[in-house]
Amino acid sequence: MVAAQGGVAVSTVSRFLNGHYVSPEVRARLAHVIETLGYSRSWTARNLSLGRRGSIGVVVDSIEDPWFVQVLLGIEEELASRDSSLMLASLELLGRYDPSRVFEWIRDHRVDGVILAKTQRRDRAILHAAAQARLPVVAVAPDERLPDVQVLHCNNMEAGMLIAEHLADLGHVRVAFAGGPAHSIDSKHRLRGVREGLARRRLRLDPALVFSCGAWSLDAGTAFAQSLLGRPLPMTAIVFANDALALGFLRVAHERGVRVPQDVSVAGFDGLPLGALSWPSLTTVAQPIRDMGRVSCRRLFEAIVQPGSVEQIQFRMTLVPRESCGPVPAAAGTVLRLASE
């Protein structure tokens, strides 16, 4: 109808609607016809003609995690310019691991591709099912090695070195590290970075000052603080494997009268917005989380159009010094430990 009233071919209308070149005179005429007719495109029909569903799936552990919220914001920003919607699945929605909804997406061909955030070993069945269905997948900050999937991740070792050198510059010698889950690659790489960063300053990370919180949550950081505080601290600074753990520690420290950073300096990783609002504000090494969400969405659509590309994209993290880290207490009486000891 638009083509008939505009006196052009249907293909010309299609080129106009999809942003391709038509002459200025034809563009103006078609715009007027479309406005007069009140025409709007059927995205459903367009996607069907392309063999697509017009929706992508996003899989997270829990939407309550503020890290996932930032990833989703980036994905939504990218989706705003695209003709597609989003389906969301939280793997721990009911307090236990349940990937059944994701398997339904894959089995019933409900989505054109999937973005997986913080993939773990337990999610390998999802990756296998997607591969069997030839469904494009992009993994954001996976917590294991995924050689056959398009991956976006950060340089965690470099980030660990940044925070270690920052603490060394403040005079800290007795630095502790509190990690996440024992199997986590991110936690291991951040620990290795802290160790190497201290070694660069001829300092040694004492193995007795390396702890595991067992999880990534604020509650895990709280439990760790409750077990550690209440006795003389064997360190002057603690690096937590993520911001949520550090924020949990800060809460208990405040309750028990432990002064941060006067008694102990505290740092984390990720750069969550909550860290800037805590008291004291949290020193962190920030991931470009929203950028990672945007790029993951963009890469997924590229894979939908042209399958087969597998790429590893690495982002740099940025040191954000704040109030939770300060100079080593003068009364600490620390003794320099050489890396060669």
Per residue in 258-288, pLDDT tens?
A: 999 999 999 999 999 999 999 999 999 999 9
The burial class, CB within 10 Å (0-12 / 13-18 / 19+), for 108 is: exposed
Residue 195 maps to a domain: yes
Q: If you average pLDDT over residues 16-21, what whole number do you get?
A: 77
Same domain flag for 213 and 235? yes
* Token pair of 55 as six digits: 């929706």
pLDDT(99) > 70:
yes
Q: Residues of the chain with pLDDT > 70: what percent? A: 92
Same domain flag for 172 and 282? yes
What's the distance, CA 111 to chain centroid? 22
Residue 150 maps to a domain: yes
pLDDT the model gives residue 31: 86
Mean pLDDT of the chain: 90
pLDDT the model gives residue 133: 94
Same domain flag for 239 and 310? no
The CATH number that applies at residue 105 is 3.40.50.2300
pLDDT(320) > 60:
yes
pLDDT the model gives residue 340: 30
Quote the pTM value: 0.80
Nearest by Cα to 291 from 112, 141, 119: 141
Q: Using 50, 70 and 90 to split pLDDT, how confident is the model at 53?
A: low
Same domain flag for 69 and 169? no
pLDDT(134) > 70:
yes
Which residue, chain included where needed, has tokens 């702890």?
Answer: 211
Q: If you average pLDDT over residues 161-182, what whole number do you get?
A: 97
Q: If you average pLDDT over residues 229-245, what whole number do you get?
A: 94
Q: Using 50, 70 and 90 to split pLDDT, how confident is the model at 41?
A: low
Q: If you average pLDDT over residues 108-113, what whole number do you get?
A: 94
Same domain flag for 239 and 270? yes
Q: Using 50, 70 and 90 to split pLDDT, how confident is the model at 39?
A: confident
Range of 30's domain? 2-40
Residue 57 maps to a domain: yes
Residue 293 maps to a domain: yes
Q: For the segment 289-299, what is each residue's pLDDT rounded down to a tens digit? A: 999 999 999 99
Residue 229 maps to a domain: yes
pLDDT(341) > 60:
no
Same domain flag for 175 and 303? no
pLDDT(222) > 70:
yes
Q: Using 50, 70 and 90 to split pLDDT, how confident is the model at 44?
A: low
pLDDT(185) > 80:
yes
Q: Specify whether the backbone of 257 is left (phi greater than 0), alpha (psi in -120 to 50) or beta.
A: left
Same domain flag for 188 and 107? no
Total domains in the chain come to 3
Phi and psi (nearest 5°) for 163?
-70, -35
Residue 313 maps to a domain: yes
What span, in angstroms and rounded, lies between the C-alpha atoms of 265 and 239?
8
Same domain flag for 221 and 132? no
pLDDT the model gives residue 247: 97
Same domain flag for 24 and 137? no
Residue 197 maps to a domain: yes
Q: Residues of the chain with pLDDT > 90: what percent? A: 70
Same domain flag for 277 and 307? no
Same domain flag for 162 and 283? yes
Residue 46 maps to a domain: no
Q: Could you count the other beta carbons within 10 Å of the beta carbon of residue 181? A: 17
pLDDT the model gives residue 335: 37
Q: If you average pLDDT over residues 309-333, what whole number do you get?
A: 87
> Are residues 57 and 133 in contact, defined by beta-carbon separation less than 8 angstroms?
no
Cα angle 124, 127, 132; round to 5: 125
Q: Using 50, 70 and 90 to split pLDDT, how confident is the model at 338?
A: very low
Q: If you average pLDDT over residues 17-44, what whole number do you get?
A: 80
Long-range CB contacts for residues 213-217, cutoff 8 Å, separation at least 24: 213/178, 213/179, 213/180, 213/240, 213/241, 213/245, 214/180, 214/181, 214/182, 215/180, 215/181, 216/65, 216/180, 216/181, 216/184, 216/241, 216/242, 216/244, 216/245, 217/65, 217/244, 217/245, 217/248
Same domain flag for 95 and 122? yes
